[in-house]
Structure 1
């Protein structure tokens, strides 16, 4: 099972499930038309490592949410500036097919 899922309609775009935000986040592994920066990826869908860190911000009526993490060897390492309950924790990535 894959932890990263390639988006067939977008060059070099992958998604992964974020259990902290309870939604998918995207990363780009190649220059793209979406305006995303390009991350380095080890090419392994089962135990991905992506560098540099991934920072996602999105507003809700209550606050500005922050999700900041590293993906290393199939685990998500959440940094302390995250605004969700997994801040400072490391969790196994979830198989996309299990969502």
Structure 2
């Protein structure tokens, strides 16, 4: 990826997680993850936490949980939490994940 970022496809939540590993090209401040530089067996230091819907602010009034009911259209997202550590190409999902891989450790899938 560009702008000092790397990404991986998450087998738990099915989303792409993008992590900044260096300063932004435009100079704005952002959190930065340590990265071992290995695209085959990556390690990122700090955990990776992604929250969607009411898990961001606790409000279920206007979130993805009731999007279909409110709009009559399929929801493009799901409410959830995906929290993990990535070490040597393995992804360890923590217990606060809301998907089926919570508490499990699995290999990162190949992604081209």
- State the TM-score bracket (shorter-chain normalisation): 0.7 to 0.9
Q: Aligned-pair distance for 1:36? A: 4.2
Query: What is the TM-score when the length of structure 2 is the normalising length?
Result: 0.72
- Kindly state the Cα deviation for residue 28 of structure 1 after the two structures are TM-superposed: 0.7
What stretches of structure 2 of length at least 5 have no aligned partner?
Answer: 54-62, 66-77
Q: TM-score, normalised by structure 1?
A: 0.81
In 1, the alpha carbon distance for the partners of 2:101 and 2:29 equals 28
Aligned length: 89
In 2, Cα distance between the equivalents of 1:96 and 1:41?
A: 17
CA–CA separation in structure 1 for the residues paired with 2:64 and 2:43: 33
How many Å apart are 1:37 and its aligned residue? 1.3
Q: Which has the higher helix share?
A: 2
* Pairing partner for 1:25 from 8, 17, 26: 17
Structure with the higher fraction of residues in strand conformation: 1
RMSD across aligned C-alpha pairs, in angstroms?
A: 1.7
